[in-house]
Amino acid sequence: MNFKAEIQSRVNEIEGILKEFLPLEEGFQKSVMEAMNYSFLAGGKRLRPLFMSETFRLFEGQDKKFLEPFLAAIEMIHTYSLVHDDLPAMDNDEYRRGRKTTHVVYGEAMAILAGDGLLNYAFETAAKAFSLIDEEKEMEELKAYRKIARAIDILARKAGIHGMIGGQVVDIENSDKIIDQDRLDFIYHLKTGALVEASMMIGAILAGADDIYLKKIEAIASDVGLAFQIKDDILDVTSTSTVLGKPTHSDEKNQKTTYVTLMGVEKASTMVEELSQRAIDNFDSLPYRNEFLRTLIIDLIHRDH
């Protein structure tokens, strides 16, 4: 497998699906749709829908029609979080994914509304899965309703006050303070890890995975999310703005405690290796195989951007 070519092929497929769910830029309020689409189409790795799709494939999911609205929904939620994260009241960043951030292009007020719009539209999009259920197959219909309802519950919980937003709250409250590793882990597990967990768990649920495997997938995703964020800390001080497509040393500018400030680059790198190895060991213990997903997890840990 040529991994680089394969990942590009699968991301291109996901891009096509995402574009199908974009809001039309029309009506008196079309400016907010324009801002939403500007943010949503800014590119990026599309990791969360990729994780969702590949976990669905891992558990031998068959009917992707229910999956596709959730692929778009998880990326809308991730995008809205970035739009709000870049605001002057938060990180005040001017570049994201290699181009001007939404608040720089459309103004702060419209950026707030665009983020709000993406969050609400994410659930509107996910709920479209219900309309795809075949009403003529009674038992299959009931199973589909349960899967979709459970997936929406996870999406809401992992994105909300007990997930991503909760992590962001603790992050903001401690942005100019020195905090210990336990609190930093809490922030990272919720702020970054929660949406990775949601992605993989929803993929597993819609594929029909048993609860025992769902818990294992959640643990794998938790380790991947934490390792990914620690790697971000490292790249913030070792990479360049050109490579990352966003400002470097932003954590230092915002006086944030990171794994690098806590223990230095070398020890932080060791933590990344340990977390990724635990994730891979758990992944290999599953009675299912997806070599692309396995390679993706490893590749993310050793990325340079």
Mean pLDDT (the chain) is: 92
Radius of gyration of the chain measured on its C-alpha atoms: 19
**Three-class SS of residue 23?**
coil
Q: Give the tokens for residue 10.
A: 């699968």
Query: Could you give the domains of the chain?
Result: 3-301 (1.10.600.10)
Torsion of CA 174, 179, 184, 186, to 10 degrees: -70
Q: How far apart are CA 146 and CA 221, in angstroms?
A: 23
Over residues 33-57, the pLDDT tens digits come to 999 999 999 988 999 999 999 999 9
Residue carrying the six token digits 């007990």: 162
pLDDT at 129 exceeding the cut of 80: yes
Q: Give the tokens for residue 270.
A: 């060791």
- pLDDT of the residue at 114: 97
**Three-class SS of residue 80?**
helix
Global pTM exceeds 0.75: yes
Q: How far apart are CA 299 and CA 227, in angstroms?
A: 12
**Three-class SS of residue 94?**
coil
Q: How far apart are CA 223 and CA 279, in angstroms?
A: 6
- What separation in angstroms does the CA of 97 have from each of 44, 86, 102? 6, 12, 11
